[in-house]
Amino acid sequence: MSKVTAVQFAAFLLCCHYYTTVLCLSEVTRKEFPTDFVFGAGTSAIQYEGAWADDGKTPSIWDTSMHEGLFGEDTADIACDGYHKYKEDIKLMRDSGLEAYRFSISWPRLLPNGRGPVNPKGLEYYNNVIDELIKHGIQPHVTLHHLDIPQVLQDEYGGWLSPKFIDDFKELADVCFREFGDRVSSWTTLNEPNINSLSSFDYGFFPPHRCSSPFGDNCTAGNSAVEPYIAAHNMILAHSAAVELYREKYQDVQKGKIGVNIYSIWFTPLTNSIEDANATKRALDFILGWILNPLVFGDYPEIMKKNAGSKIPSFTDSQSQQVKGSYDFIGLNYYYSLYVAHDSSIPKTSPRDFTSDMFAKFTDFVDNPTGHRIIPPIRPKYDYDSLCKLLNHLKNAYSNPPIYIHENGFGVEFVDAMNDVARVSSLSGFIRSVREAIRDGSDVRGYFVWSFVDVYEWISGFTLRYGLYHVDFEGNGRERTPKLSAHWYHNFLKNGSAADIQNVGLRRANAHSS
């Protein structure tokens, strides 16, 4: 075979593969979504920007942990070098047809002392990013705080554990609304307060690494039984304080929307037993209801108050009123579903942590009998419908809040090939699931792929890749290369359908052969 024929043959095989993995499953087009629905992709400050100590930025607690070598050799000192390469990336976004971009503000870049004087260089950077996005017709969806709390605030009062966090966060929010709010119409206060609290204060694998035995390992201080509840409580109050500020001082003029982001999982009972059904309900109340019940109803779920007892702080009447209704939308980070079983092995007496207060155990081994931890959705039969089920649950149990899917994606623990067929299957499967939920009456307003480019993935460093664009983290230029998923998403956004993936494959093959 000549070179050209060989490439065409490869493209043909690729298309056959799509045909079986994508086409038979789904046919989903951009046109089926409302015109004001937005499709985008996201990153977050510390995972993307690099320039960790440039132009007046001070360390966040993540910088500190990374430099202590707690996550191996990878650090986010340079990361994607987005601080210097944002213009180039926004051009790629435009070329990809992205309608919106979700990113976060680095608190220690904007307010190096945690409060007080604004860093002019930090201000300039975010102004430039926002202006550049708008110039290219891409909506900025901005998260005020995505895990990287300034080390100075950690040192001063223990960060999220102290109610002082609430006032400082409100000040950060005020600076952002004042400086950027004329151009930003979608604000998210906090990223994943639920998972942040658990990872940092129950299991201790996220900074500031607080936990207690037997619930977490290797922490020098902490109390896993109590601190996650306190941290989340302060985060909820900080969120609602920022929303109140936005509504009183800015929203009338700036006309934006504000919400919070929550990590969510969909749960399915492991067996048909009543015990497992009850455990599944508890799991939803603990993981999702922990944050969402206060926002929608003004208090924690009854089962959490019952099982956690005095460990979970109470809202005063005025706090409850401030928290209730403090959202214009809910952002969801969704990756996978788990099976849930009742856990009778947990002692009924203390100390119990959040997980044991739930009396439930999770498993993802049902479709994966080898017992290896899987990065969903590598499951053989991946459950895309679970996202639709979760959205239906939100519609039915929480009065159908406006929803943005803030993160959904596919991670692989190796430098994945440019022909990321599995990622394409996953994205199209979940996008179809969102379409089904909208048909069922869910008020979903947008969908963001995690992540736009490969980024620093927290404790997984650069080994876990989610990007539509590959980043060469070994090279000084941090070169970006579109993966097949980037071509697929572009094609989808340009009102193509999954079926057009064949053309994408052929176009790529032709481009390579010419």
Based on CB atoms, which residue is closest to ligand NAG, 343 or 500?
A: 343
Q: How many CA atoms lie within 13 A of 141 on its CB side?
A: 31
Based on CB atoms, which residue is closest to ligand NAG, 396 or 503?
A: 396
Q: What mask of x and - would describe binding to ligand NAG in positions 198 to 217, judged by CB under 6 A?
A: -------x-----------x
Distance CA 115, CA 117 (A): 7
Contact 242, 235 (CB under 8 A): no
Find the shortest distance in angstroms from Cβ 218 to ligand NAG. Answer: 4
- Please identify which residue in 218, 314, 396, 503 interacts with ligand NAG, judged by CB under 6 A: 218
For 144, the 3-state DSSP assignment is: strand
Based on CB atoms, which residue is closest to ligand NAG, 285 or 383?
A: 285
For 186, the 3-state DSSP assignment is: strand
- For helices 501-513 and 484-493, give the axis angle rounded to 10 degrees: 130
* Residues β-bridged to residue 330: 260, 403
Tokens of 260: 């919070």
Based on CB atoms, which residue is closest to ligand NAG, 167 or 217?
A: 217
Q: Of 407, 457, 474, 479, which is the active-site residue?
A: 407
Instruction: Count how many residues are written for the chain.
Output: 514
Find the shortest distance in angstroms from Cβ 309 to ligand NAG. Answer: 18
* The amino acid at 447: Y
Strands 329-342 and 257-269: parallel
Find the shortest distance in angstroms from Cβ 303 to ligand NAG. Answer: 8
Strands 360-363 and 257-269: unpaired
Distance CA 382, CA 375 (A): 11
Find the shortest distance in angstroms from Cβ 186 to ligand NAG. Answer: 36
Distance CA 36, CA 28 (A): 17
Is the Cα dihedral 229, 235, 237, 243 positive or negative?
A: negative
Q: Where are the beta strands (DSSP E) in 225-318?
A: 257-269
Based on CB atoms, which residue is closest to ligand NAG, 124 or 217?
A: 217
Q: What mask of x and - would describe binding to ligand NAG in positions 269 to 288, judged by CB under 6 A?
A: -----xx--x----------
Tokens of 495: 């009102």
Q: Of 49, 192, 227, 457, which is the active-site residue?
A: 192
Q: What mask of x and - would describe binding to ligand NAG in positions 433 to 452, judged by CB under 6 A?
A: --------------------
Q: Which residue has the tokens 């982001």?
A: 261
Distance CA 435, CA 446 (A): 11
Tokens of 357: 């207060």
Asked if 27 is an active-site residue, the reply is no
Find the shortest distance in angstroms from Cβ 277 to ligand NAG. Answer: 7
Find the shortest distance in angstroms from Cβ 147 to ligand NAG. Answer: 18
For 190, the 3-state DSSP assignment is: strand
Based on CB atoms, which residue is closest to ligand NAG, 136 or 393?
A: 393
Find the shortest distance in angstroms from Cβ 10 to ligand NAG. Answer: 42
Return the residues of window 81-140 that contact ligand NAG according to CB under 6 A.
none
Strands 257-269 and 139-145: unpaired
Asked if 407 is an active-site residue, the reply is yes
Based on CB atoms, which residue is closest to ligand NAG, 202 or 407?
A: 202
Residue 367 per-residue DSSP state: T
Residues that are catalytic: 192, 407
> Could you list the residues that contact ligand NAG (CB under 6 A)?
205, 217-218, 274-275, 278
